[in-house]
Amino acid sequence: MMHLFRSIGVFFDRLRGRFQRGQVTRDDLFIGEVLKRNSIITEFQLKSALDIQRETLVQKGRAVRLGQVIVEQGYASEADIIRTINAEYQIEVTSLADDIRERLSHKYGAYFERLPHPRLPMWIQLAVATTFIVMLTIFTLSMVVLDQQKSRLYEQTVRLGMVSLNYFANNAPIPLLEDDILRLNTLIKEAARVEGLRYALIVGDNQLIKAHTDVNLIGVPFKHFVEHPDVTRDGDVVYYSYNRPDGERLIDLYRPIRFKDKTLGEVHVGISINFIEDLVRRERISVVLITLAIILIGLGIAIAYGFRFSRPISDLVRATQEIAKGNYQYRVPIKRNDELGNLGTAFNRMGQELWKNAMAQKSFGKYVGSEVLDMILANPETAWLKGASNEASIVFGDVRGFTAFAEARSPELVVEALNSYLEIATSVIIKFGGYIDKFIGDAVLGVFGLPVSRQDHVERAVRAAMYLQEELRKQSAAGNELLASVGISIHTGMVVAGNVGSQSRMEYTVIGDTVNLASRLNAFAGAGEVIVSQQVKRQLGEFIETQSLGRLPIKGKAEPVEAFKVIRIHSSVHA
């Protein structure tokens, strides 16, 4: 029932949203989500149906129910849709024209729209987490310790059996030679006093039992308890395990009895494995009782500390809400001298910095990168910010065939695919120490060596480009074919860097022939390729493997420019 209410609550939350053009009908998103969850339609089919619904609303000025669109496109039949909705929420819908929301309200009541999400107080969460950690820790340790103890008990039991065997083997030869049955049985009876030892017996060379802890078996022919047992040998001692008819599991250990290199018979002892398991079982019960005691103590401590921590965290929640509203001057009351007090102090410092940054952005009236903004705030009159020549490497990435791609798809899908590409490109360039200068439609302009000076900016640019192409190829396997259509070009040289713009709108950027050449080389970069200029190849030398593209005509250049396609870059350019 809770799952039902939560699902319906999500449905009505989504009903409040709007498309870019027009209002979605009440049961449209409901039908789409239910059908997708029950594998009647796919995510792509749902998006396509929503696009068609919106276009119909724009072109004809009337709304068409989503279920009708799905049926018309052949994604699913009306019978399948009705059957799925009725089975999902136990209502009786006969047609897609029915008001499904009203049916749900009639069946479950209107209160489900206001049903809140469950909220667990911190002390409960901390108590549950503590209980789980204690149980997991003790259970893991107990299993490891008990398993080790069981193995040691098994080994000690085998050693005990060996000691008994050696005792019997050393004291039995003379009575066995004299066929002194009384002395042999007196010797054997001493074994009955050892805990866990179930029997001991001596067999003569004629395979008759000469002595046994069970006197009724004396004189009976001896045969092994298991035919063709899987034995283990340790010197003269041989042993194997078997099950008694009553279900008890034993280890039978035996060794020959010798006198002056002559074998007179064998001595056998049987030790219970169940005896070992009983000992471990008793220890396990003790561990469980100790665990329960520790859990009760841990619960009490967790609840106490949960209440202790909840108040300052509530203060932080209120402060976060105030910061979200733009009230950067709100301060958390500091009443503790511990980590939470330090957190409150750090939060107040964060609010102060956010206020400074907000004031800086408002004063400058523009958006800048974080490194540039830090430099502006540190020293707004810095000379290079006004324009200076610096050496840098320019990375230009552009999508091949983007226009055809965009024309064949809805705007929403185009923007989603493009944003995926720009997100990957941004993260890779930043990862390798560059920064995003700007986005130009479907193109990315990345800069290495500025505003933070780096001696290896050429290598960083090439590595970033190669890594970016690899990441784009991997991500394109998920269905975004745009990612596999990016061509990248790189050129290095002198650029002019500084603030460019007007009093109302400015940005820190790079300009110059180096930027232009990097951009125009991109026309020769095919999908998935990285093209570099001769200057880049010359700086990296033998550490980069390339394929020459010859001398290429470049717009604005009197002479053709030699370019190269990068095959690979070795791992230690600046080792």
The pTM score is 0.41
pLDDT over 60 at 54, yes or no: yes
Span 353-407, pLDDT tens digits: 777 777 655 544 443 445 555 655 566 555 545 678 889 999 999 999 888 888 8
Q: Does residue 2 have a pLDDT over 50?
A: no
Terminus-to-terminus CA distance in the chain, angstroms? 63
Q: Residue 40 — pLDDT band, cuts 50, 70, 90?
A: confident
Strand-pair category, 237-243 with 232-234: antiparallel
CA angle, corner 33, sides to 27 and 35, nearest 5?
A: 95
223: confidence class by pLDDT, cuts 50, 70, 90:
confident
- pLDDT tens-place string over residues 81-96: 888 877 777 777 777 7
- Percent of the chain with pLDDT strictly greater than 90: 15
What local confidence, expressed as pLDDT, does residue 3 receive? 44
| Look-up of token digits 């705007």 | 411
Residue 443 DSSP SS3: strand
Token pair of 23 as six digits:
């209002």
Per-residue tokens: 280? 């471990």
Q: Which residues contact 512 (CB under 8 A, 6 or more apart)?
A: 493, 494, 495, 496
Q: Which residues pair with 212 in a beta bridge?
A: 201
CA 176 remoteness from chain centre: 71
Q: Which value, in Å, is the radius of gyration of the alpha carbons in the chain? A: 41
For residue 114, pLDDT beyond 50: no
Structure-block tokens of residue 54: 């919106």
Cβ-Cβ contacts under 8 Å for 445 (sequence gap 6 or more): 394, 395, 396, 436, 437, 438, 439, 515, 519
Query: What is the predicted pLDDT for the residue at 470?
Result: 92
pLDDT one-digit tens code per residue, 508-564: 788 999 999 999 999 999 989 999 999 999 998 888 899 989 899 888 888 899 999
In the three-class reduction of DSSP (H, G, I as helix; E, B as strand; rest coil), residue 420 is classed as: helix
CA 338 to chain centre: 32
- What count of other Cβ atoms lies within 10 Å of the Cβ of residue 234? 12
User: Residue type at 531?
Assistant: I
Angle between helices 122-171 and 273-324 (to 10 degrees): 160
DSSP 23: B
Average pLDDT taken over every residue of the chain: 78
Among 575, 542, 573, residue whose Cα is nearest residue 459: 573
Contact status, residue 442 vs residue 419, Cβ threshold 8 Å: no
For the stretch 298-326, pLDDT in tens is 777 777 777 777 777 777 777 787 777 77
Cα 511 from Cα 529, distance rounded (Å) = 24
CA atoms within 13 A on the CB side of 105: 11
The predicted pLDDT at position 13 comes to 44
Q: Which residue has the higher pLDDT, 115 or 95?
A: 95
Domains of the chain: 2-114 (no CATH), 143-278 (3.30.450.20), 326-364 (no CATH), 381-569 (3.30.70.1230)
Q: What is the pLDDT of residue 454?
A: 84
Q: Is 391 helix (H, G, I), strand (E, B) or coil?
A: strand
Q: Residues 261-300: pLDDT tens digits? A: 888 899 998 888 887 777 777 777 877 788 788 778 877 7
Q: Which residues pair with 267 in a beta bridge?
A: 202, 255
As beta bridge partners, residue 251 has: 241, 271
Question: Do the Cβ atoms of 262 and 239 come closer than 8 Å?
Answer: no
Q: Are 291 and 168 in contact (CB under 8 A)?
A: no
Residue 95: DSSP 8-state: S
pLDDT at site 69: 82
What per-residue confidence (pLDDT) applies to 534?
Answer: 92
Q: What is the DSSP string of 188-230?
A: HHGGGGSTTEEEEEEEETTSBEEEESSGGGTTSBP--SSSS--
What tokens does 333 get? 């009351």
Distance CA 548, CA 357 (A): 48
Structure tokens given for 193: 């006093």
Predicted local distance difference test score (pLDDT) of residue 394: 94
Distance between CA atoms of residues 60 and 285, nearest Å: 75
pLDDT tens for 144-166 read 777 777 777 777 777 877 888 88
Enclosing H/E stretch for 411: helix 411-431
